[in-house]
């Protein structure tokens, strides 16, 4: 019955796509070009996996897309990979297109966690399993979630600032600002809360002062994690509260794309002579360069190659009709830590989403070769800066 429904749905969708002139495209090609970066015709009995990434414009997703594509192909699956230019409607079209092409399973890193209901319901009706990849989709048809411990990402950033400023011992007070991520991304609140839970006691005690007064997520959020948006706000904050020479000690940024904007603003507009402690996340090449040069203090690195490994083993188990639970971790014999968590994430009120959560790590100038080059995620270029080996 499910197969029959899937066939009807696929036929309807194919018709709809043809009628509208076809599915659209990835970040770099335009109209009427299928958005797949892999145009292999599904062959033989191999199952096909649809991989929907948000955008090529944020560096990490290129690495995720490349690792997933590579690993699924190596395991004998056909793949369709899309990047949707950070546009929710485009991602909806891309996923509809993949359903129409008869994918057996979907892996989705959502642009807007609450913006995929229609297509998620279509997938559910067709019996196509969906794995929420890195970002949780707010729809109960997302049956599993693979990510990193998002709260811990923020906590590591907060702890880094706490220790760098020696908040427990130094006299202070210290001036600090915050920049958070995209409100449409379910992860962004976890990152912010993880960091704020570490720093808030120091704000309450007066050891840390936020001159802008902007300490609520909505005040410091960054639409689509864009560097330019973070840059603009940082310039405004610097002009309004620090242009008289007031010292700024730290700027907690939730990820590297926002950190890049904040760092540019500080380099251009900050009058103080001190090095400002700046956090990030992802290990983007430009940020690793800044870390080596002392312009950014740290990044929280998430080994997306391992995130792809977990996703592959989970997908295999689902497609083989196996019962999936924490036993997947021991059965797969991964050489990295991963927790099975059935409590922390919900796709709707009360509906828990079983999650496989990997462990993020702090990367600084001192440990970047050991953490990133030795395991093979990056190589050192001729210029001495790190280059990602994939994506
Ligand atoms: C988050 C992701 C981060 C960062 C950010 C911007 O969802 O977990 O690693 O990449 O999006 O793309």
Say if residue 294 is exposed, middle or buried (CB neighbours under 10 Å; 0-12, 13-18, 19+).
exposed
Question: Residues near 5 by Cβ (< 8 Å), separated by ≥ 6?
Answer: 125, 126, 127
| DSSP one-letter code for 305 | H
Partners of 142 in beta bridges: 130
49, HSE (Cβ side, Cα atoms, 13 Å):
27
Q: Is 184 in the pocket of ligand 1 (CB under 6 A)?
A: no
What distance in angstroms lies between residue 34's CA and the mean position of ligand 1's atoms? 25
Torsion angle defined by CA atoms of residues 299, 391, 389 and 109, in that order, rounded to the nearest 10 degrees: 50
Average pLDDT across the chain, whole number: 91
What are the tokens at 359? 């462990």
Q: Look at ligand 1, atom 4, and give the residue with the nearest C-alpha.
A: 255
* Beta-carbon count within 10 A of 362 CB: 17
The rounded distance, in Å, linking the Cα atoms of 220 and 55 is 22
**pLDDT per position as a tens digit, 77-107:** 999 999 999 999 999 999 999 999 999 999 9
The ligand 1 atom at the shortest distance from the C-alpha of residue 55 is 12
Q: Is 187 in the pocket of ligand 1 (CB under 6 A)?
A: yes
Query: Among the residues of 109-206, which ranges form H helices?
Result: 117-125, 150-164, 186-205
- pLDDT value, residue 289: 98
Q: How far apart are the first and last CA of the chain?
A: 40
pLDDT of residue 38 exceeding 80: no
- pLDDT value, residue 390: 81
What distance in angstroms lies between residue 78's CA and the mean position of ligand 1's atoms? 26
pTM metric for this prediction: 0.90
E strands in the chain: 48-53, 78-83, 105-108, 130-133, 142-148, 174-179, 208-209, 250-253, 277-278, 299-301, 338-341, 346-348, 351-352, 355-358, 361-363, 378-380, 386-388
Q: Is 386 in the pocket of ligand 1 (CB under 6 A)?
A: no
What distance in angstroms lies between residue 285's CA and the mean position of ligand 1's atoms? 15
- pLDDT value, residue 247: 98
Question: Residues near 104 by Cβ (< 8 Å), separated by ≥ 6?
Answer: 47, 48, 49, 128, 319
172, HSE (Cβ side, Cα atoms, 13 Å):
21
Q: Is 185 in the pocket of ligand 1 (CB under 6 A)?
A: yes
Q: How confident is the model at residue 43 (pLDDT cuts 50, 70, 90)?
A: low
Lowest mean pLDDT among 16-20, 66-70, 89-93, 116-120: 16-20
What distance in angstroms lies between residue 278's CA and the mean position of ligand 1's atoms? 17
**pLDDT per position as a tens digit, 264-321:** 999 999 989 899 999 999 999 999 999 999 999 999 999 999 999 999 999 999 999 9
Q: How confident is the model at residue 45 (pLDDT cuts 50, 70, 90)?
A: confident
């Amino acid at each position: 019955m499910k197969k029959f429904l899937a066939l009807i749905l696929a036929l309807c969708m194919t018709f709809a796509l043809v009628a509208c002139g076809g599915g659209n495209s990835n970040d770099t090609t335009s109209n009427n070009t299928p958005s797949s970066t892999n145009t292999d015709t599904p062959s033989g009995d191999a199952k096909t996996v649809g991989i929907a990434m948000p955008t090529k414009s944020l560096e990490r997703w290129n690495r995720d897309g490349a690792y997933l594509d590579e690993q699924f192909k190596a395991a004998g699956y056909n793949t369709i990979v899309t990047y949707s230019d950070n546009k929710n409607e485009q991602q909806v079209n891309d996923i509809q297109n993949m359903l129409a092409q008869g994918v057996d399973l979907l892996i989705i890193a959502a642009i807007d966690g609450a913006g995929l209901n229609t297509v998620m319901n279509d997938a559910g009706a067709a019996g196509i399993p969906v794995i929420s990849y890195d970002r949780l989709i707010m729809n109960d048809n997302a049956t599993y979630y693979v990510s990193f411990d998002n709260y811990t990402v923020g906590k590591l950033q907060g702890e880094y600032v706490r220790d760098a400023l020696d908040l427990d011992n130094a006299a202070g007070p210290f001036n600090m600002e915050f920049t958070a991520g995209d409100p449409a991304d379910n992860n962004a609140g976890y990152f912010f809360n993880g960091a704020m839970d570490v720093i808030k006691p120091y704000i309450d005690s007066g050891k840390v002062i936020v001159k802008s007064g902007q300490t609520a997520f909505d005040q410091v959020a960054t639409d689509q994690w864009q560097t330019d948006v973070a840059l603009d706000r940082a310039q405004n904050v610097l002009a309004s509260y620090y242009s008289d020479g007031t010292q700024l000690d730290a700027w907690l940024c939730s990820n590297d794309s926002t950190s890049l904007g904040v760092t540019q603003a500080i380099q251009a507009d900050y009058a103080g002579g001190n090095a400002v402690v700046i956090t990030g996340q992802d290990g983007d090449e430009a940020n690793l360069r800044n870390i080596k040069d002392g312009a950014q203090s740290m990044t929280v690195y998430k080994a997306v190659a391992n995130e792809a490994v977990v996703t592959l083993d989970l997908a295999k188990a689902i497609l083989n009709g196996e019962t999936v639970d924490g036993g997947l971790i021991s059965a797969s014999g991964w050489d990295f830590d991963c927790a099975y968590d059935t409590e922390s994430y919900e796709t709707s009120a009360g509906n828990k989403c079983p999650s496989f959560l990997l462990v993020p790590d702090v990367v600084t100038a001192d440990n970047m070769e050991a953490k990133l080059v030795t395991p093979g995620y990056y190589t050192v270029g001729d210029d001495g800066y790190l280059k990602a080996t994939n994506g």
